[in-house]
Structure 1
């Protein structure tokens, strides 16, 4: 057994880091949504256990056969999770993922017959392209992203948290192992994803759809980093996978409580959030600050490395700054509408009594607060471990972020007026 494990699995620091993130995201999502699961809780827990096994196989194995077993098990378990709320949408999701999985099996067989007997670097561009297509369907690379807003709009927030925070990341974790020296196609796809997702998130008022399009945009930063093919992009992709997993799972888990509270998905129906669910409001702010790449959050560290990885190409670096402004714009839009607008209109009065329709329990609050706070803790840890290799330039980062905020603040009124009406 020990020989089998040592020959087929790799437990290096990076894989353990991804595994730890996956365990945390799954655990906190389960706690956050346990109260919202009305039927067959024991069965849901069993499905979650198999889900944990599935992503563990994909992340750690170097055996193509086990790799595909892990992927298809992840498809099956997440489809079953969807079935708790909507059986029809579960079937549609399963078919989409099955199509991607079928092409991925063909790709793996092609790689194996061309001499790649273990999961690892693939050098031929045409074979890399096949992996981009197969993994792209499962992980919403632009062109294969159509299922994300369609499914997320109808799915439970528990599914969305696991899908956006973890399952879709498995494709990018796999691409990190397969495409080591960069890929120009990924550079262009990443840029398109950043702007497409960001613009669509700006146009939406449905909170779940905003988070769905935001996920596509943030996946674009990871895609771009993998395409860069250098050490800065490699570490930037790893950090952003972790940063986005924790932030987006927290936001989707928190969204479940917002939707229960207001019985609506529209952010314009979210009133006095800072009074109704204080912990949720705080966790939401912290998560968006990380997505906005605010200094002293891990989201800043990851995006700083990604931008630096393309500093030799001024046009790409400039476009990345524009993409970051988009992220700040839709994040500020949400925070202004659901928290700061009402707070300002009440002259920062925190004593107003507001009747709440849904109060999260202690465990629900803990399940969103700890991941949100970890976005700061991980930034400190990252600086300790990588500070001797990379200078994160926090002072210049504060200046850059301030510029982003000013630009986003100036454009927020015409955007929100157009969306609301």
Structure 2
């Protein structure tokens, strides 16, 4: 057994970091979803356990056969989560994942016949491109992304949390392992994803769609990091996978609480949020601050490394700054509408009558991952085994400029979105 594990699995700092993240997010999502599940709760838990085991297998194995079995089990278990929402939706999602999996199996067979007998660095550009297409469907790379907002808009928070935070990231984890010297195509795809997802998030008032398109945009930052092909990009991608996982699991789980409270998906209907759902509000704000790369949160550390990885490609670094401003703008839009102003003319009392109350466990489930976003930023070298120094004075100056530009963009934007 020891020999089998040694020959087929790798356990290093990065693998353990991914596994720990998956365990925490899965448990906290299950807690957050528990009161909202009406039937077959034990089956729901069993399904989550199988998902977690399969996720651990996929991120740690170097055996192609074990890898594919594990990922297809993940596709099945996440499709089963959707059954609690809609059988038709679960079937549609499974078919999409099956199509992506089929091409990925073909790609793995091609890689194997070309001498790549274990999951590791691949040198041929054409084969790297095949893998980008193979994981693209499952991980919503631009061009294969259409399913993500379609499914997320209709799915429960528990599915969206697990999918955006963990499942859709698997493709990028694999690309990290096989593309070690950079890939120009990923750079272009990453930029397109950042701007496409950001603009769509900016133009929407449906909260779940905002979070969906935001996921696509944030995946673009990971693509850029992997495409850079240097050490800064590698660790930037690892950190951003973790940062986005905790941020987006928090945001989707808190989103479900907003929706249940106010019986609406529109951010313009979320009134008196701080008064009514204070822990939910605090957790949401923290997660958004990390997402927009505010200093002192792990989301800043990850984007700092990604920007540094592009020093040798000035045009991409400039575009990355623009993409970061776009992220700050849609985050600022959401925060200002939900928390800083009341755009509704309807009485707050009428909305409070809906009165969905969060349990202590639900509050803990959304608060813990938001706190982790701050804790992870304190000493990332302790768990990365890689040291980098952040100039926080420069960080706050840059972020202040981003916020000022976002504020100027936000003023005419909100009125237009509200009237759509």
Fold agreement, TM-score > 0.5: yes
Tell me, in whole angstroms, the C-alpha distance in 1 between the residues paired with 2:21 and 2:388.
Answer: 23
Encode CA deviations 1:55-96: one digit per residue, 9 max, x unaligned. 111100000000000110000000000011111111111011
Residue 348 of structure 2 is matched in structure 1 by: none
Say if 2:139 and 2:168, in contact at 8 Å, map to a contact too: yes
Q: For residues 20-419 of structure 1, what are the structure 2 equivalents within 5 Å?
A: 20-342=20-342, 355=353, 357-382=355-380, 389-419=387-417
Say if 2:13 and 2:383, in contact at 8 Å, map to a contact too: no
Tell me, in whole angstroms, the C-alpha distance in 2 between the residues paired with 1:365 and 1:386.
Answer: 29
Tell me, in whole angstroms, the C-alpha distance in 2 between the residues paired with 1:381 and 1:368.
Answer: 23
Tell me, in whole angstroms, the C-alpha distance in 2 between the residues paired with 1:388 and 1:26.
Answer: 27
Q: In the TM superposition, what is the alpha-carbon distance from 1:340 to its structure 2 partner?
A: 1.1
Encode CA deviations 1:74-119: one digit per residue, 9 max, x unaligned. 0000000001111111111101100000000000111111100000
The ranges of structure 1 where at least 4 consecutive aligned residues each deviate by more than 3 angstroms after the TM superposition are 353-356, 383-389
Q: 1:342 to 1:199 in 2, by over 3 A?
A: same
Q: 1:388 to 1:17 in 2, by over 3 A?
A: closer
Tell me, in whole angstroms, the C-alpha distance in 2 between the residues paired with 1:385 and 1:74.
Answer: 26
Q: 1:79 to 1:354 in 2, by over 3 A?
A: closer
Q: In the TM superposition, what is the alpha-carbon distance from 1:411 to its structure 2 partner?
A: 1.1
Say if 1:276 and 1:355, in contact at 8 Å, map to a contact too: no
Tell me, in whole angstroms, the C-alpha distance in 1 between the residues paired with 2:169 and 2:124.
Answer: 23
Tell me, in whole angstroms, the C-alpha distance in 1 between the residues paired with 2:390 and 2:137.
Answer: 34
Say if 2:10 and 2:62, in contact at 8 Å, map to a contact too: yes
Q: 1:18 to 1:84 in 2, by over 3 A?
A: same
Tell me, in whole angstroms, the C-alpha distance in 2 between the residues paired with 1:159 and 1:390.
Answer: 35
Which runs of 5 or more structure 1 residues have no equivalent in the other structure?
A: 346-352
Say if 1:275 and 1:354, in contact at 8 Å, map to a contact too: no
Say if 1:10 and 1:62, in contact at 8 Å, map to a contact too: yes
Q: In the TM superposition, what is the alpha-carbon distance from 1:382 to its structure 2 partner?
A: 1.1
Between 1:231-240 and 1:308-317, the stretch displaced more is: 308-317
Tell me, in whole angstroms, the C-alpha distance in 2 between the residues paired with 1:69 and 1:198.
Answer: 34
Tell me, in whole angstroms, the C-alpha distance in 1 between the residues paired with 2:392 and 2:157.
Answer: 34
Tell me, in whole angstroms, the C-alpha distance in 2 between the residues paired with 1:17 and 1:341.
Answer: 39
Say if 2:14 and 2:384, in contact at 8 Å, map to a contact too: no
* SS of aligned partner of 1:121: coil
Q: In the TM superposition, what is the alpha-carbon distance from 1:248 to its structure 2 partner?
A: 0.2
Q: In the TM superposition, what is the alpha-carbon distance from 1:39 to its structure 2 partner?
A: 0.5
Q: In the TM superposition, what is the alpha-carbon distance from 1:390 to its structure 2 partner?
A: 2.0
Q: In the TM superposition, what is the alpha-carbon distance from 1:373 to its structure 2 partner?
A: 0.8
Encode CA deviations 1:172-221: one digit per residue, 9 max, x unaligned. 00100010111000000000000000000000000000000000000000
Say if 1:79 and 1:94, in contact at 8 Å, map to a contact too: yes
Name the TM-score, length of structure 2 as normaliser: 0.96
Say if 1:276 and 1:356, in contact at 8 Å, map to a contact too: no
Q: In the TM superposition, what is the alpha-carbon distance from 1:381 to its structure 2 partner?
A: 2.2
Which runs of 5 or more structure 2 residues have no equivalent in the other structure?
A: 346-350
* SS of aligned partner of 1:342: coil
Tell me, in whole angstroms, the C-alpha distance in 2 between the residues paired with 1:385 and 1:101.
Answer: 32
Q: In the TM superposition, what is the alpha-carbon distance from 1:392 to its structure 2 partner?
A: 1.5
Q: In the TM superposition, what is the alpha-carbon distance from 1:364 to its structure 2 partner?
A: 0.5
Between 1:311-320 and 1:38-47, the stretch displaced more is: 311-320
Tell me, in whole angstroms, the C-alpha distance in 2 between the residues paired with 1:383 and 1:100.
Answer: 36
Name the TM-score, length of structure 1 as normaliser: 0.96
Residue 350 of structure 1 is matched in structure 2 by: none
How many residue pairs get aligned? The number is 413
Encode CA deviations 1:325-364: one digit per residue, 9 max, x unaligned. 1100000111111111139x9xxxxxxx955611110010
RMSD: 1.5
* SS of aligned partner of 1:381: coil
Between 1:310-319 and 1:399-408, the stretch displaced more is: 310-319
